[in-house]
Amino acid sequence: MHNAGVDKNKDDNAELPLAERAYRALRQAIVRGEFEPGARLRVEELSRRFSVSSSPLREALNRLSEQGLVRALENRGFRVAPLTAAGVSDLARVRTLVECEALRDAIAHGTDAWETQVVAAGHALALAERRLGDQPRTLDDDWSARHRAFHLSLYAGCTSPLLVDLADVLFDNAERYRRWAARWRQAPRRKHDEHQLLLKTVLTRDTDRAVELLRLHIARTEQLVAAALAGQGADDLQ
């Protein structure tokens, strides 16, 4: 586990308020699995790790609690949210509702600029996948960043800012499950094929087919994570 401070991306984050910098750094660390599920998040330790005072950290922890990545314990601080079979099932259900609706709206209202953004993000992801070949992808930070950018680009044409914001939060929750499951996965997943077919279908504006492909994509992730949890002999990781 590396000790990444809030100034890891100093050039990008230097102008941000301390609470925002702490929030971004802590969210990234949790999503990447740098803290075990259920781990206690002690403000004093986080303050040393991220070189930031307790007040911005508490604000960041409260935001992450609202987003489901952290659990606030009544009068007992904070813990990293557990990974559970019930949790991934519920997450997939809500992702399907939110992301499929966001995609449907984006296809209906997306402009040429939106299409250009989607094509660029899809191409960037394909380049990373070509570079990695048969190597594991979900644990590669560059692939993960491009994968996130591709999915969120699909929803960027949506006319509801609230739906887009929800899709962003839900994606990070799913990314945490994906990264954990990737440690234990036995069978490879040809996500490149899924992404490129989804991209092609979105660009043809075949709404029903694109939404169905996205639904299947989300469901497949749920199945693989559930299988990984079962393979570890537990229904959850506290």
The whole-number pLDDT of residue 174 equals: 96
Cα–Cα distance for residue pair 223/181, rounded to 1 Å: 10
Q: What is the pLDDT of residue 11?
A: 46
pLDDT of residue 183: 79
Question: What is the per-residue burial (b if ≥16 Cβ within 10 Å, else e) of 13-24?
Answer: beeeebbbbbbb
What pLDDT tens digit does each residue of the chain (238 aa) get? 334 444 444 445 667 888 899 999 999 999 999 999 999 999 999 999 999 999 999 999 999 999 999 999 877 799 999 999 999 999 999 999 999 999 999 999 999 999 999 999 999 999 998 888 766 666 688 999 999 999 999 999 999 999 999 999 999 999 999 988 887 765 556 677 899 999 999 999 999 999 999 999 999 999 999 988 887 655 555 5
What the chain holds in terms of domains, given with CATH numbers, is: 10-81 (1.10.10.10), 84-237 (1.20.120.530)
Beta bridge partners of 78: 41, 72
Global pTM reads: 0.85
64: helix, strand or coil = helix
Residues whose CB falls within 8 Å of the CB of residue 126, separated by 6 or more in sequence, listed in order:
192, 195, 196
Instruction: Please count the helices (runs of H) and the strands (runs of E) in the chain.
Output: 10, 5
